[in-house]
Amino acid sequence: MSRRLSFKRLRSISWLCGGARESRCDEMVLPCEPVVLNVYDLFHINAYTMTLGLGFFHSGVQIYGREYAFGGHEFPMTGIFEIEPRNGQAELGEQFRFRESILLGYTNFSRRDVERIVDQLGVQFPGDSYHLTSRNCNHFSSSLVHIVCGRKIPGWVNRLAHLVTCVPFLERCLFPRQ
């Protein structure tokens, strides 16, 4: 039997541990860890889009003192990486300016369980599948948050990317082909 958890098993564990329902940490014997969404402003792009009330944001999920995020590269292996929480500008580049942290809930998964979940998500989020609007860091963050605490990330975090995928000419205007 594989030591990795299946997603079907993860969903049932998540429900049992309070992921899909409201739980109070003080009533649980299991570990109870905050799940925080760290949002970064991609200010070189947002300088143009924020006047419309929209923006492109990078996000990562902070659990057990680590921040997990997804990014692109040319290889068919995981695109998930971890950084020091709220340190995107130093570790990812100057265009990633920290905006805010949002407490989304709590997880009862252990640190090791979270690592296994992230490993399994790495299969679903290979670096060569990254796309700025249709498969980005916010899609990964949404998936991880849903598994570990049964919540969604705020809609505004990925709203412009979603809008661009719905109106293809916007993508051509914002990201002309070289």
Average pLDDT rounded to a whole number, residues 132-158: 95
User: What pLDDT was estimated at residue 164?
Assistant: 80
Using the predicted structure, report yes or no on whether residue 56 has a pLDDT greater than 60: yes
pLDDT: is 174 or 13 the higher one?
A: 174
**Could you give the domains of the chain?**
7-174 (3.90.1720.30)
Predicted confidence band of residue 88 (pLDDT cuts 50, 70, 90):
confident
The residue assigned the tokens 């070189």 is: 44
Rounded mean pLDDT of 70-83?
A: 96
What average pLDDT does this structure show over 61-71? 97
pLDDT of residue 44: 77
- The residue among 156 and 168 whose pLDDT is bigger is 156
Higher pLDDT, 43 or 126: 126
Higher pLDDT, 50 or 10: 50
Mean pLDDT of 14-32: 52
- Concatenating the DSSP letter of every residue in 118-176 gives HHHHHHHSBGGG-BTTTB-HHHHHHHHHHHHHS----GGGSHHHHHHHHSHHHHHHHS-
Residue from 1, 7, 16 nearest 109 by CA:
16
pLDDT at 24: 52
Which residues does the annotation mark as catalytic?
A: 58, 137
When pLDDT is averaged across residues 25-38 and rounded to a whole number, the result is: 77
